[in-house]
Amino acid sequence: MAVETTLRERMEVITARFPQPLSALIPLLYLVQEQYGYLTRGGIELAAEVLGTTPAYVDSVASFYTMLYRQPVGKYVLQVCTTLPCALLGADEVLAYLEEKLGIKPGETTNDQIFTLQKVECLAACHRAPLMMVNDVYTVRLERAKLDVILDGCQHGTGPDPDQIY
């Protein structure tokens, strides 16, 4: 398959930059996710083959990271931090509001495939709690009005503005 050949070539180029091939594992997993939207079984197997390891090893590493998706996700992945600082400042309310607005629970994707809601551990911005990441964009000091603006932007295909502090 042409896509696999191209993906393999890209993986080999990345792997060649590292003195130890296994050091390229995370970049290769991001490459697979970029290609397919999540870590496909074939992508995991290809990464394992390129790195000279087993698919089980690659999968075990992938399962550790919340930003690596092991199943299909929506266009916008909403990762709500629920650790103590965020919890004390309203993370449970943020999560409940998103569940109500989207009609899904953490770990689920909306029927239109626009949103996936995730409950995650620390996003390392406790001083701006409560917060969530929308794909790779931090949204901070969340309240209902901000959530509505963020969701509206996503529903219209623009997502949150990475230059805007929410």
Residue 88 shares a structural domain with residue 38:
no
Cβ atoms of 42 and 66 within 8 Å: the answer is no
Give the model confidence (pLDDT) of 111-163 as tens digits.
999 999 999 989 999 999 999 999 989 999 999 999 999 999 999 988 887 77
CA 135 centroid distance within chain: 6
Cβ atoms of 98 and 80 within 8 Å: the answer is yes
For residues 130 and 81, give the distance between their C-alpha atoms in angstroms, rounded to a whole number. 7
Residue 34 shares a structural domain with residue 84:
no
Residue type for position 136: D
Q: Is 165 helix (H, G, I), strand (E, B) or coil?
A: coil
Query: What is the pLDDT of the chain when averaged over all its residues?
Result: 93
Q: Whole domain around residue 28: which residue ranges?
A: 2-62
What pLDDT was estimated at residue 50? Answer: 98
Please, which residues have CB within 8 angstroms of residue 164's CB and are 6 or more apart in sequence?
Answer: none
Cβ atoms of 76 and 37 within 8 Å: the answer is no
Last residue of a domain, one of 40, 62, 84: 62
Is the residue at 165 inside a domain? no
Give the model confidence (pLDDT) of 11-27 as tens digits.
999 999 999 999 999 99
Number of domains in the chain: 2
Residue 21 shares a structural domain with residue 58:
yes
Give the β-pairing of 115-120 and 137-139. Answer: unpaired
Cβ atoms of 77 and 116 within 8 Å: the answer is yes
Residue 107 shares a structural domain with residue 129:
yes
pLDDT at 1 over 70: no
